[in-house]
Structure 1
């Protein structure tokens, strides 16, 4: 039984942004070996003022979702890990963990929690049986302490 059922990563590409750089920022949330095979979903929309906005998504299930979450958690610096644990009740609801990462720092390979609007969003669906048995705090703490696979 997998701890994580699904991880969805998403972000917006505004008309003023370089899409290749935003894609790189999004892919930097993945373990290195998963980046070249990631299937990117792109959806075009219009902003309130008629400007083009593209939504980019990556969706992972099963073992891949667990690997993505482990990578994300192990890449956080000690301060962000502490912030995550202290704010877990605000970031977790109905089996889903909601995280936001600074898009500009992600482009540089740095994962930093951020609560602004222009971010990379992660929605992590945790297996309800595992949650019932262990609780979200234990699950996240255990995953943060695991060694990443690169």
Structure 2
């Protein structure tokens, strides 16, 4: 049902990079396995912000079916019941025309080991490519509802 999942986190100059990486690791370790060295799965890129401020971008991609399924189950099992209900209600708004399902998680809560949805742009951004053959948004929506419902 999921072709691949991308994860992205941004470490601004005011943030400690290791803490942002640890926040991202909450999701990676629960899909790759707790004994995994996640550095081999995470690409980091140092860039400059609009005002010359240093920013580090962390990106990772999960493409194995087992890893994708583990991450979906981890998210589903660790969201509060009210947040899971909110997520299910928002599926149509979170699923774009390219069948990418968009999620954002609070970085600070992830650092503390908690999975909490966020509407902030400064979050752990998770995108899931939903598979349907042939491409069909309605079927993709049903697939996401089956995963999180």
For the criterion TM > 0.5, the same-fold answer is yes
Give the alignment partner of residue 28 of structure 1, picking from 15, 26, 29. 26
Closer/same/farther in 2, CA of residues 131 and 77 from structure 1, 3 Å limit = farther
Q: Which residue, 122, 125, 140 being the options, matches 2:129?
A: 125
- Deviation digits for residues 77-113 of structure 1 (CA, Å, limit 9, x no counterpart): 1011111111111100121100000110011111111
**Matching of residues 128-143 of structure 1 within 5 Å:** 128-129=132-133, 132=136, 135-143=139-147
Distance 1:131 1:67 in 2: 24
SS at match of 1:135: helix
TM-score, structure 2 normalization: 0.85
| Structure 1 position 65, deviation (Å) | 1.9
Q: Which residue of 1 aligns with 2:95?
A: 92
Q: 1:148 — aligned with what?
A: none
Structure 1 contact 85–137 (Cα < 8 Å) conserved: no
- Contact 1:13–1:53 at 8 Å: present in 2 too? yes
Number of residue pairs matched?
143
Task: Give the deviation of 1:21 after TM superposition.
Answer: 0.7
**Cα deviation per residue 1:49-95 (whole Å; 9 max; x = unaligned)?**
10100100111002222222221222111011111111111100121
Of 61-70 and 12-21, deviating more is: 61-70
Mapping 1:1-150, distance limit 5 Å: 3-30=1-28, 31=30, 34-35=33-34, 36-38=36-38, 39-63=41-65, 64-93=67-96, 94-129=98-133, 132=136, 135-144=139-148
Question: Could you say what the CA RMSD is over the residues aligned between the two structures, in angstroms?
Answer: 2.2
Provide the TM-score with structure 1 as the length reference: 0.85
Separation (CA, whole Å) in 2 of partners of 1:67 and 1:122: 14
Alignment gaps of 5+ in structure 1: 146-150
1:2-61 C-alpha deviation (Å, 9 max, x unpaired) = x11110010100111111111110111231752524311101110011010010011100
